[in-house]
Structure 1
Amino acid sequence: MADFIFEKYISKEEIDKRVKEIATNISNDYKDKEPVILLTLKGAIIFGADLMREITIPLKVETIIAKSYGNNIQTSGAVNILQNQVDFKNKDIIIIEDIVDTGLTMKKLLEHLKKEEACSIEICTLLYKPDNIVEKVDIKYCGFSIKPLFVVGYGLDYAEYGRNLKDIYIKIK
């Protein structure tokens, strides 16, 4: 990360407030259900952990790996999905994502999960870049809509660095 200069973009306090709001919405929307939280690794780990601690209903947790960045600051366009053998048939799935950038990764993930015959599939993302969208996907729960900036922190990385930062930063140089 020494190659770039970053400045704070979204504070931990703003993130915490938004996480609580999203958790309340999920708890209300799924009050009579037991959703499966599907964390996309690695980026959604911190957001997902904080979110799940605020959700007040019973839930199950699974993980999936969906990669499109590699060690670059722009998506490669190629999406690789790796998943444990989990039965999602007749389940209510909430995909927890760190960022929806172009929509390509999410579209591939949705196509993959639709084959599983889930009862429902919803998307929850911390960050959304509407100006970058190539493949439109319906996002039910969104933390922040942002400009097409490169961001790190709070689970988001550059070449695997920066995930542990408490705030979200943008690359300025």
Structure 2
Amino acid sequence: MQHQTLPPGIETILLDAETIAGAIRRMAGEIARDYADRPLVLVGVLKGAVFVTADLARALAEVPGGPTDVQLDFIAVSSYGNAHRSSGEVRLVQDTTYAIEGKYVVIVEDIIDNGHTLHYLRAMLGNRQPASLRAAVLLDKPYHRAIDVTVDYTGLTCPDEFVVGYGLDYQERYRTLPYLAKLRPEVLPA
């Protein structure tokens, strides 16, 4: 990796853009294999998964024999607020736009940490009777898992650090970085 000046507050890059892109392509290949010649709905979890969802949709379009049609929808939930640790209480902020009954659905998440958000989404969306419901998560952070929840497609294992970039933020900052980074200790409250 070439030397680059890091933005204020960033200590180090943990996963570069090329590594993330490779993980997205691999997940797209796995999803395409499972949904070959079927229409698919990707439900991205806002705001963090916006880049993962867009890049995954583009990668799926490049897989020969993959899904015949990929639709995008988004849902917003909150369990962090302005904190850097999840409260464990998930609340719906914005629902999906389209009905998913009878459709093949993949929930797209940026990161799974304690499991509360994905557990909530699987239960809520599962009650809407999709033809199938699976989950794709770019970053698996298993160190503090509180709920055992199924992840069908996993991109990378996340270090046991508070990370930002590629959709993940700290107080709405750093979300647009093209890589995953560790914040300097003085940026986070004790």
Name the TM tier (shorter chain). over 0.9
* Structure 2 unmatched runs, 5+: 1-6, 62-66, 186-190
The CA deviation at 1:6 is 2.6
1:9 matched to 2:14: yes
Q: Which residue of 1 aligns with 2:153?
A: 141
Which residue matches 2:130? 118
Preserved contact between residue 10 and residue 181 of structure 2 (Cα < 8 Å)? no
> Distance in 2 between the 1:78 and 1:39 partners?
19
CA drift of 1:168 comes to 0.3
Measured against aligned partners, the alpha-carbon deviations of 1:61-87 in whole angstroms (never above 9, x if no partner) come to 111001111111100111111304531
| Matching of residue 66 in structure 1 with residue 72 in structure 2 | no
Q: Looking at CA atoms only, which structure, 1 or 2, has the larger radius of gyration?
A: 2
2:171 pairs, out of 149, 159, 173, with 159
| Counterpart residue type for residue 170 of structure 2 | Y
- Structure 1 stretches of 5 or more lacking a match? none
Contact 1:127/1:142 (<8 A) preserved:
yes
The alpha carbon displacement at 1:11 in A equals 0.3
Instruction: Report SS of the residue matched to 2:75.
Output: strand
* Letter in structure 2 aligned against 1:149: E
Paired residues in the alignment total 172
- d(CA) in 2 for partners of 1:133 and 1:26? 24
Cα deviation digits, residues 22-76 of structure 1 (max 9, x gap): 1111112101311110010000001111111010332111110011111111001
Alpha-carbon shift at residue 146 of structure 1 (Å):
2.0
Three-state SS of the structure 1 residue aligned to 2:28 is helix
Alignment of 1:52 onto 2:63: no
User: In percent, how many aligned pairs have the same letter?
Assistant: 32
Q: TM-score, normalised by structure 1?
A: 0.93
**RMSD, matched Cα:** 1.5
TM-score with structure 2 setting the length: 0.85
- Give the Cα–Cα distance (whole angstroms) in 1 for the partners of residues 159 and 179 of structure 2: 17
In structure 2, the CA distance between the partners of 1:7 and 1:115, relative to structure 1 (3 Å rule), is same
